[in-house]
């Protein structure tokens, strides 16, 4: 366990010494501030048209949260692209793989660090949302489940992104591929617009949107949680296999 933490700590630090972390945080704060502003403006207009204040949860929190999910498609590749690709390019992977730590400790350490970075960014979102609580008294439960959903979804994509980063020495290639993957996972359920059964259903099941939406409605659906956890485990398993095959082929 302490090996995992040592690796996670080193990885997290490396985010914050590079300009990447700050650029990500700044851009994210800007965009999500903008989205929040739109949502709040929209809410105010709705309230003025109708009788009394509109539904805060429906008009403000839900759009902010689903925007956050879309934004994370762009964040994930930036967080995961260097995880292994950079170690392979500079040769530091040799240090990790010849030290008395297991492959799984290395992988979990890196994944935890990625989760930490992702969490930090999501924290900014929470800051924007706290304004809503200052102005009104919305139901906090859908927000809590939405956050849980975002973490699960983020964990799943980070774990796939980590695997992709382990398949190349080039972090730009890793980032671009991961972005493509995220987009695909996000849009699989579009298949159902022109076909409602067979493979379209399978694709729809794989889609992130389908599994994420229940969380934004304040519901924790075990089926959806299991889906995300399976993807996390799959990504970690694939990373472990590819680290092993790096040894055999290298």
Q: Which CB atom, from 12 or from 208, has the smaller least distance to another protein?
A: 12
Nearer to another protein among residue 90 and residue 230 (C-beta): 90
Q: What CA–CA distance (Å, rounded) separates 212 from 146?
A: 8
CB of 217 to another protein, least distance (A): 43
Minimum separation from the CB atom of position 86 to another protein (A) = 9
For another protein, give the closer residue by CB, 6 or 70.
6
Taking phi over 0 as left and psi of -120 to 50 as alpha, with beta for the rest, 218 belongs to left
- Cβ-based nearer residue to another protein, 68 or 106: 106
Give the Cα separation of 196 and 219 in Å (integer): 25
| Axis crossing angle, helix 103-135 with helix 222-249, rounded to the nearest 10 | 150
What the block records as the tokens of 154 is 């983020």
- CA gap 33, 66 in Å, rounded: 14
Q: How far is the CB of 12 from another protein (least distance, A)?
A: 12
* Nearest approach, Cβ of residue 8 and another protein (Å): 11
Name the residue nearer to another protein (CB basis): 99 or 187. Answer: 99
Q: Which residues bind another protein (CB under 8 A)?
A: 2-3, 6-7, 10, 13-14, 17-18, 90-102, 247-250
CB 1 to another protein: min, Å: 12
Residue 12: alpha-carbon gap to chain centroid: 16
Rounded distance between C-alpha atoms, residue 132 and residue 37, angstroms:
10
């Amino acid at each position: 366990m302490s090996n995992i933490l040592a690796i996670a700590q080193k990885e997290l630090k490396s985010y914050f010494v590079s300009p990447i972390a700050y650029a990500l945080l700044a851009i994210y704060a800007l965009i999500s501030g903008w989205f929040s502003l739109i949502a709040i403006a929209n809410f105010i207009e709705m309230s003025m048209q109708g009788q009394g204040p509109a539904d805060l949860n429906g008009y403000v929190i839900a759009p902010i949260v689903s925007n956050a999910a879309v934004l994370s498609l762009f964040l994930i590749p930036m967080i995961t692209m260097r995880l292994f690709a950079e170690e392979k390019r500079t040769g530091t992977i040799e240090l990790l793989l010849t030290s008395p730590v297991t492959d799984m400790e290395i992988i979990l350490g890196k994944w935890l660090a990625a989760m930490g970075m992702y969490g930090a960014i999501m924290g900014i979102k929470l800051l924007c949302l706290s304004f809503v609580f200052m102005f009104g008294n919305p139901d906090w439960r859908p927000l809590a489940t939405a956050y849980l959903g975002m973490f699960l979804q983020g964990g799943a994509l980070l774990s796939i992104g980590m695997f992709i980063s382990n398949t190349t020495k080039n972090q730009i290639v890793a980032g671009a591929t991961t972005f493509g993957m995220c987009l695909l996972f996000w849009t699989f359920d579009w298949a159902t617009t022109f076909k409602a059964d067979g493979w379209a259903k399978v694709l729809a099941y794989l889609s992130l949107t389908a599994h994420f939406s229940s969380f934004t409605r304040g519901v924790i659906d075990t089926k959806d949680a299991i889906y995300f956890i399976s993807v996390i485990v799959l990504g970690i398993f694939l990373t472990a296999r590819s680290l092993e095959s790096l040894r055999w082929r290298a």
